[in-house]
Amino acid sequence: MPVFQQPLAFLLVLCIPLLFLFRKLGIFSAPSFPLILKDWEGETFVWKSPVRKIASALSVLLFAAGFLCLVVSLAEPVRLQQEKIYTSRGTDIVFVLDTSPSMMARDIAGMSRLDAARQAIASLAPQTPGTGYGLVAMASEAALVVPPTMDRDEFFTRLTSLESGGLGDGTALGSGLSTAVYHLSGAAAPKKCIVLITDGENNSGAIHPETAAQLAKDKNITLYVLGLGTRGTVPLEYVDPATGKVYSGFIDSQFDSQSLEQIAAIGGGRYFGVESSGALAEALSLVASQEQTVMSFYLKTKEEALYHYFLFASVLCFVFTWLIRRWYLGVFL
């Protein structure tokens, strides 16, 4: 509901009935120049076209609407919105996202595993205001993509642009986890956690994932692991980022969840086996609720000016009124 900063401007609305009253009394009437076409005593010429009557009534309505929009614009309407400004840190969550080619298998609601993970993380954002998000991409190697930040636009821009295969075709769980631990250990957040999303076992990297999980626990960082994907033969479509070559076919999706469960247990967290988009969203929502912390904030009121919308509408109404009366009816306002 808009708020008007200059409500006295609405007194100008009284000009409309006054104008019609003055015209009824012959004051402020439009100038007319009679043209005599006959000198016999007969009925005067009357234009009875219903189209012209409708056009004339429409021009009056448009003029009144334009004037009303102009008055509303002069009243300076604004939309008030309250925004939470957090004065304390919330939880920092770093997502370690597997980007190996197998993450392009399409077995999660018709989407690739990577796209399903991105969509689930995006759906989690409204549930976690004040939470810092970070991102580590992991395959044969691991790299920090976004450090823990409150800038959700930057985070999701980088998450969306993440490509599969850019860091090789292996799965270095230990490297991904240790990278996340390194960038979380110095954070000032009261709670810190890592969410590992992968579809395979550790088969690359110099750091054992259990060593990285123990390091996370020593730094008071909780580790959650999501084993993503169905089992069996699943379709895969993958574009090699280096060559642009498209690979399409099927893969045999099998991995032992026991090692992932062990990593989560060492890290003081929990393992989730995820085979659907609903289970993925539910797992992330549960993680967010487990890691939620109390934050202090204050409400800041933001004002959005709306007068330019009404001013534009007023100009349009006046223009159409002028076109109808000047070019169709052939009269002046």
Give the model's confidence band at 86: pLDDT under 50 very low, under 70 low, under 90 confident, else very high: low
pLDDT confidence of residue 144: 95
Residue recorded with tokens 């509303």: 72
Q: How confident is the model at residue 322 (pLDDT cuts 50, 70, 90)?
A: confident
With tokens 């439009």, the residue in question is 30
**Does the pLDDT value for residue 315 go beyond 80?**
yes
Judge whether residue 281 has pLDDT over 60: yes
Extended strands (E) in 62-122:
77-86, 92-98, 106-108, 111-112
- Pure H helices in 163-299: 173-185, 209-218, 257-266, 277-290
Q: Report whether pLDDT(120) > 70.
A: yes
Least confident of 43-57, 58-72, 158-172: 43-57
- What is the C-alpha to C-alpha distance for residues 51 and 274, in angstroms, rounded to an integer? 67
The enclosing H or E element of 122 equals helix 113-124
Q: Which residue has the tokens 């989560």?
A: 264
Does residue 43 have a pLDDT over 80? no
Of these ranges, 38-47, 198-207, 273-282, the one predicted with the greatest mean pLDDT is 273-282
Given pLDDT bands bounded at 50, 70 and 90, which one contains residue 196?
Answer: very high
At residue 79, the pLDDT reads 87
| Per-residue pLDDT at 115 exceeds 90 | yes
Give the strand order in the sheet containing 221-228.
Answer: 142-149, 132-138, 92-98, 192-198, 221-228, 271-274
For residues 40 and 234, which has the higher predicted lDDT (pLDDT)? 234
Residue type, 186: G
d(CA 276, CA 229): 8
Q: What percent of the chain has pLDDT over 90?
A: 38
Q: Using 50, 70 and 90 to split pLDDT, how confident is the model at 282?
A: very high
Residue 221 near residue 186 (C-beta atoms within 8 A): no
Measure the CA–CA gap between 99 and 77, rounded to whole angstroms.
49
Residue pair 304/82 in contact by the 8 Å Cβ criterion: no
Neighbours of 229 (CB within 10 A): 24
Residue 90 has pLDDT above 70, yes or no: yes
Specify the 3-state DSSP secondary structure of 252.
strand
3-state helix, strand and coil shares in percent for the chain, rounded to the nearest 5? 40, 25, 35
Average model confidence (pLDDT) for the chain? 85
Taken as a whole, the chain contains a residue count of: 333
Structure tokens at 126: 């409204």
| Other CB atoms within 10 Å distance of the CB of residue 26 | 7
Q: What is the pLDDT of residues 60-73, one digit of tens each?
A: 889 889 989 999 99
Q: Is the pLDDT of residue 92 over 70?
A: yes
With cut-offs at 50, 70 and 90, classify the pLDDT of residue 34: low
d(Cα 55, Cα 269) in Å, to the nearest integer? 73
| 197 vs 8, residue with greater confidence | 197
Integer Cα distance of 232 and 227 in angstroms: 15
β-sheet with 3-4: strand ranges across:
3-4, 77-86, 297-305
pLDDT band, residue 47 (cuts 50/70/90) = low
pTM beyond 0.95: no
Of residues 75 and 87, more confidence is placed in: 75
What does DSSP assign to residue 292?
Answer: -
- Helix (H), strand (E) at residue 154: helix 152-160
